A and B are shown apart, each in its own frame.
Chain A
Amino acid sequence: MTQVNKTNRRRFLQASLASSAALLAKPASAQEVVLQPARSTGRTIFEAGEYGMPSEFATGSRLIGSANGLHGGARTPLSESHGIITPSGLHFEVHHGGVPDIPPHEHKLLIHGMVDNPKIFTMEDIMRFPSVSRIHFLECSGNGEQEWSSPSSPTTTVQQSHGLTSCSEWTGVPLKMVLDELGIKTEAKWLLAEGDDSSRMGRSIPMWKVIDDAFLVYAQNGEFLRPEQGFPLRLLVPGFEGNMNVKWLHRLELSDKPWWTHQEVARYSDPRPNGKKVVFSFYMDAKSVITSPSSTMTLNGPGFYEITGIAWSGRGKVAKVDVSTDGGATWQEANLQTPIFNKAHTRFRLPWMWDGKEATLQSRTTDDTGYVQPNYEQLYALQSPIGMMHNHAIQSWRVQQDGTVINVHHV
């Protein structure tokens, strides 16, 4: 309080001095250079607060969608994102029963089932294990579902069509290391991961994936997880659909068979054109999208523009991104930002001289397993358009002659 009063008093004094100086000043002669006055002091260090906030002029905010406030989520502003890391406060979210904020000293992780010695870990226990930090994307398999059959609208933005993917540095403990403490029985083939939100969200995860690279995560981008990201503990299953990366993780059960939870059979499964429904389709396949220029942007006349966007694959590293400005007739290889991380967003950039004519922009990635991102025609052959999950088709943005950009399907 004292500091604020002092500040106000000083400001008043400065203001008075400035006005008396103005009264005394003589008119400047023609030769005299009048220096641009220095900027005022702005907000004080105290006003900046103990947790820094973005500028009030900085654009880019999450787009929230929920009918009831408990089930639904928020999308990342991809066209206003730069590089590969998503700020924690702009990470996408999908919730099934609200957002608990769990006191870490109360939180426990129970691990039981097909283990030699079932155990309960406190957060203190978990943080005593040797830690790892890794950069990984996280994508909801429903990302792009409304674009499946036809463009939802010409003015659908990249945030609306692709905003359920984000990328962070995650810190935690390899799950295998923790499970080895208990002794994994040889017949254990599946793991149930359950959250401590009101919906007790549960998913079955194959043990080979658990052993390979799943990890328990308590920190994101250098700070503790946000409640919306599962504070104090979440599971990360790199490259698998977002729903499996269970937040507020409180229970792991090992079994010889999967659970076929409601999440798995009713929501996160994919109808095929032959009427069959695929369950346990976990991989997020190679995908990319141009984030600029993208729908609702306007190019200010012909000339130089950078085409940029992100590419990622749940099966490995991005090997290549090709960009087309003529709807896929010809392709040019884009520059990839290095280092390229495994199962992580990869920024691509391509310089482009726009000639002022209509242009259809597309990006197509290939991952290091050789998987090539399909166009819609190719995707329809693999999956039924009513499926809607795992839409990883090539996205098209059309730059119109007046410079406006719209969302289109262009096979």
Chain B
Amino acid sequence: MSAHKTLKLIGFVSIAISLSFGALFASAQEKFGFGKPAHPDEIARYNSDIHTDGSGLPDGSGDVALGAEIYEYQCALCHGEELEGVPEMGANSLHEGRRDIKKLPYASSLFDFIRRAMPLTDPGTLSNDETYGLVAFLLNETGVIKDDNLTLDAKSLAAIKMPNRQNFIIDPASRFTAEDLQ
């Protein structure tokens, strides 16, 4: 059988399969019925992500001093005392290049990532206060917000306008529109 015929046959079989599903269910409302309903409490246990408008940010607050303390014993080993990065530990500078904190479009991305994935060997162990404190420390340290007394919570973090925000664009070669991104 030629490759062309094989492909034609595959095409025919996939049409046949989709038709058979049409016949499987009497109406569009009918379902396979697999899976269990997710209880709101269960969703809440996993739903940790944060949107750019700050929705999803948890209660709590933290300041630069708390962040500096946490940074010293949880982060500096890999990210360096001055945020310069320790390549032997696998961490690049947070002052320049792709990990440059100043260049992030939203502070929410930073909070979300630290809470989600850091510290590398023990992620998910930082409290909300500690995470807010770390974001405050990092923004102060990188000069985004020069304020040694900066304290962040859900409201103040959501209000931060990162200086590089306007330099982020969507890929003109892709099919996205500005409306997709809002």
Contacts and interface: CB of A to CB of B under 8 A. Distances in A.
B112 A339 contact: no
Given A119-B38, A130-B17, A260-B105, A277 B87 contact: no
Interface in B131-182: 164, 167-171, 173-176, 180-182
Nearest to A269: B168
Given A202-B49, A281-B173, A125 B34 contact: yes
Contact of B49 (A111, A117, A250, A253): A253
A260 B169 contact: no
A119 B116 contact: no
A120 B36 CA distance: 5
B104 interface: yes
Contacts of A263: 113
A265 B31 contact: no
B26 interface: no
Contacts of A338: 3
Contacts of B117: 96-97, 198-201, 262
Interface stretch (A36-44, A64-72, A305-313): A64-72
A267 B98 contact: yes
Interface in B29-83: 31-38, 42-43, 46-52, 78
B66 to A, nearest CB: 21
A200 B113 CA distance: 9
Contacts of B127: none
A282 interface: yes
A259 B112 contact: yes
Interface in A197-228: 198-202, 206, 208
Nearest to A208: B175
Interface residues of A, number: 68
Interface string A124-143: 01101110000000000000
Contact of B170 (A118, A194, A278): A278
A111 B47 CA distance: 10
B87 A120 contact: no
Given A180-B31, A339-B6, A97 B120 contact: yes
B15 interface: no
A280 B116 contact: no
A275 B103 CA distance: 11
A380 interface: no
A262 B110 contact: yes
B89 A67 contact: yes
A291 B51 CA distance: 43
A323 interface: no
B181 A258 contact: yes
Interface in B77-122: 78, 87-90, 97-100, 103-106, 108-110, 112-113, 116-117, 120-121
21 contacts: A67-B88, A68-B89, A97-B123, A119-B35, A120-B42, A181-B35, A200-B124, A253-B47, A257-B182, A260-B106, A260-B108, A262-B116, A266-B98, A272-B169, A277-B169, A278-B168, A279-B105, A281-B171, A281-B174, A283-B171, A338-B3
Given A119-B36, A130-B21, A279-B171, 9 more contacts: A70-B90, A72-B90, A129-B32, A181-B34, A190-B180, A198-B124, A201-B117, A266-B98, A280-B170
Interface of B: 3, 6-7, 17, 21, 31-38, 42-43, 46-52, 78, 87-90, 97-100, 103-106, 108-110, 112-113, 116-117, 120-121, 123-124, 164, 167-171, 173-176, 180-182
